[in-house]
Structure 1
Amino acid sequence: MKADRDGDLTMGLPVKGRAGVGKGTGPPTGPRKDGASKPTRGGILGATAQREILRHASGTRDVAMKEERVSGAKGGLVELKVSGWNKSKASGDADGGVSSLIKWLEKKASSRLGSRVRMVKIKKSQVEGTDLIVKVAPDDALGLLRMNGFGWAGTNVSVQRLGGPVQASSGASSEAEKTKGMLRGVLERRYDLDTKFLNLSGLAQDEELKNQHIFDSKSTASKFFPAMMRVLELSFDNPEERNAAVTSVSLANNDLTDLAAVTTLSQTLPKLQNLDLSNNKFGKLEHLHSWRRRFTHLQHLILTGNPLEQNEPNYQKDIISWFPNLRQLNGIQARTEEDIAKKTRTVDLPFPIRSAHFKDESGIAEQFVRTFFAGFDADRAALASHYYDNLSEFSYAVNTQALRDPNGTERSEPGEWEGYLKNSRNLKRIQQLPARQSRKFRGTKAVADAMAMLPITKHPDLASEARKWMVEAKMVPGVPDHTGASPDGVDGFLITVHGEFSELDTTTGQPKKRRSFDRVFVLGPGGVAGVRIVSDMLTLRGYGGAQAFEPETVDAWTEPAPTTTLAPEPAAPGLPAGLQIAEAEQMVAQLMQQTGMTLSYAKDCLDQVGWNFVGAVEAFGRVRSNLPADAFVAPAA
């Protein structure tokens, strides 16, 4: 925390030491009075809820935020009286602090939420005794009136209208509009435009909220935060502007025991960068589970002052794993910029398939894709026992209406889908519930039997025929936990594969028919491989070509050509001179297929023999019996 020139607290970053709202610290931009009552037990949480706030403040999205305005007096300007400023720390200035006060009033009144922020300008001002009389445009008056009770330079200032009441812009406001106006006022006086910081700390101590009796009952308190987030959404034209306007939020000092009442923050501000949860009552990691993997852009997180520190002293490791871009936790470095770059990079090498949507972690998704399709072609029974368990589900559907390759020579033939239709689960064609249920296969044996009924296949080589594939992957939370230990689910992968395969003639082993396919996997932890398939959905269609996978330029797929022929192209780091990355990738893939070893073990084997493929095979034969089980992607033959 640091103070700006006006004495306002901001969530200044980078954090050094403990950066957060201290215990007992009230709202930095709201009123702070001695003797204020303690927060209502439970803070802004409540076990049950009434509907008043949501009914008034979270209506449909097409309800526009109607700004109140103040009618103008003579000359079109509105007169306001500012009192209490003469007792400030700035009273010793040459002008008694007037110029500093005016600058502060303009700045704070301009810190408005919304896509079109209005910069407030005080047109005229004069001192009358202990009051400062200012004149502003009618559209600016409301912003200044909302500052009534704000703290400035060590004192609280009063801002009141002279000569007329606040009027609605178009007739009497409804109760819903008044409630929205109140909530928006809370947001705006707690928002700092310069630092993009929204300070929602100590909400139960906020004087205006206390006057509205928000925290007098738990039921109303529990609805307050979701309603306020709804108003925040309605203040912007689109999510991009909202995410750009608010990058830091503090929820410190709110007596939060879990995230039940504030969980909507992750939906309203998913790209939040800095978050302060200090001095609450989070006692266990599970109380924070609903925000796992939610704030993917979060860089700084503060959790000090929670019972969690005593109950689970090693909680930091789990928290860091939840947020892939987290740089600092409680003011201590969690990752370097280099760590972030390695962790979140788009996978391209050694995986040959280039996709902007392939996000891996520890090579899990890459290894799965390499292993699965090789196993599907070679031994489906072994594949089923390796990746599927008694809770895994598999189904496939045939799409006979899909467009075919316009440049292809293959044509549709009568009965070409005969071997697939018996168990096809095309929900557009299969209407009866029993038929739908019977065509979803669950459990290792059922999956193995269903896959055994499909024709023998051969998929293109991932290394040498990368243009025929498109693979996308991302980590997802909430994957069902087969052990039942995590009711909220566990982290897993969603992998989508688009490609083609050839059906093989059972007598000759030669390709006889090409098909296109789409396959969607949901993976979770577990199983003999450390990864289990939770769900596997396969769509089969006539061959449609691979034009959709083609990059705009061939250069995106190939290594750049040498710029000179006078000297050989430098080898990639860790590879012998003269061995290029593409060749190394193919050697690794071939060794994995021949030996059954994992990617890392195959690469290490080649490294140890100087990338001599024959030598690597011989070395594998000598040490095969001594290798651990995790050296193989499937049990060795």
Structure 2
Amino acid sequence: MMAASSSHRPRGLASKTLKSAGLISRDEDASMRDLSQGSSSGRKKPAKKIGHRQRGVDLYKASGTSDLSHKMLASRISANLSNPLAVRGAALKPAIIRPGSSATRVSQVRTLDVWREIVQKRYNPEAKFLNLECLADDEVLKKHNITPPGLPGSNHKEYPVIFKLASQLKPPVETISLANNNLQMGTHLAPIAHYLPNLRNLSLQSNKLKSWRDLDYLAGRNRKLGLLRELIFLDNPLRDQEMNAGRAEQYKSGMSRRFPSLEVLDQEAITKISFVDMPVASSSNSGPSDESGPSSFPLPMAPSFITGVDGSVISGFLARFFPLFDSQRSALIDAYDPSATFSYSAFTTIPPRARLQGWHTSKEMPNQRRLEWGPWLKNDAGGSRNLNFIGRGGASGAGLDRELRSLHAGPTAIVTAMSHLPKTHHEVAGAADKFCIDAWPVGQGAATMLFLCIHGEFTEEPSRGIRSFDRTFILAPAPPGSTAAMNNWAVTILSDQLTVRPYSSPDAWKAGPMKVQGEGKLPRQHATPRRTPAAQQPFLAPEVQAQLNVIPEPQRSLVVTVCQRTGLNVRFSVDCLDNNGWDIERAVANFEQVKPSLGQEAFL
């Protein structure tokens, strides 16, 4: 009994001390005695697990003690906790400030005030410009020992706070610079579009953004900066990587696709065509429609542009070149200068306009599905010289070899390369509206040359499908005594570049307002009907056309054909046909026999 009574005395003494301090009640004292007595075996029952240890402050709040007790507890809590006997001789652990405590909230309020001061201090209301460059060097942040976001040890959640404070500025912010802030992740940028959706200008220069995904945080479906006019992205790994790889155009395209309203990128204007909505006829019976009306380019499309050169030179060259290219390519060897080059590129992607208009699935043009790209892409002469795709086929050495083999130099190599291409038929005899010609002189003095570009279409044999093409020549006057001059070519070809692509309508160069694709689908158009020779407008110079107009059909078409195949002028072509019973093949054969004896006056 003595041992038992002695063991209870410390507990009784502690209970009285706690009760006198107002930290426990009598009921709690009784529960302490019950636990201390426990079972007769002397073993303690397992303690019931609780979420946390009760503190004196918690007991005080639950007990509802008097104001005097409040003052006593407040004085004990605020005492020097470094002294373990500060509270009635009870040993206390050093205080720990936990998240959510009043001390943390005080710190957060203080940090918020610091950021508010910085945002207001760095804002220029006249220019509506918020300068957040080089935050690591900000003296206010250094003074309060705050690490700006983007640096090691910083709190990435502070950027939403910054942009929310920026959204409260008056007048509203239009320009923000975040240059030189060590930004490495697009997640830092996401709050910009949320809090500042009407931002006009943004600088992200000299940061560490590495992928397109980082920019998608700004340009995502729900976070687009729809009014962004200028973006500076210089000195970021993503831009440097694209530029060093020679993908400058792809880089600009990627930016424009993510920010459609962008006008200036990296301090350079973006070349783009603005669309002007045209009025749409309304009807009282028509209801509202989600499809926008047609749009047009701000400037009307003009017809062929020829300046600084006699039109007869161009018409004479084209009227002779294309028929020979279609029927007798080997005869073109005389037209090429000894140092001339030739190459061609095949682009297989159907243009969006042509796809929407259904040119390649139209019942009016059933042969389009029979066309094949294989003979154009690869052949024994080196194949297509599309430099965007040559390097993708394997090692760099193989790509370089194909580049060299697909560039043909010298008349013999050029004619040999042409012989490997599919047979064609250019309907230049009377389809002037299907072709667009641009020509002007280049160079000066004795080095003056002629730039000539033709856009049009041809029929490919044997499928009878139609393709579109662009062909660019650099021509020079045929030197006296040269092969070209001796074979009655007024000019010689220095360079010949051919681009073959899927068919698209000649409406692209039709004079007048040019309709373009808007948000809605383009209306389905019917294929241009194939004209009869009587209805066609000759693809010749005006003076030649005047001579042809006095010749009745069907003789007129025969004369035009002979002019194209031989280069003879109208008078000599009529004589040639008349002397050969108006048989084209006999007339051409007769021409080849007497050709050496003909003078320059016999040709166009």
Q: Which has the higher helix share?
A: 2
| TM-score normalised per structure 1 | 0.33
Report which of the two structures shows the higher radius of gyration computed on alpha carbons. 2
| TM-score normalised per structure 2 | 0.35
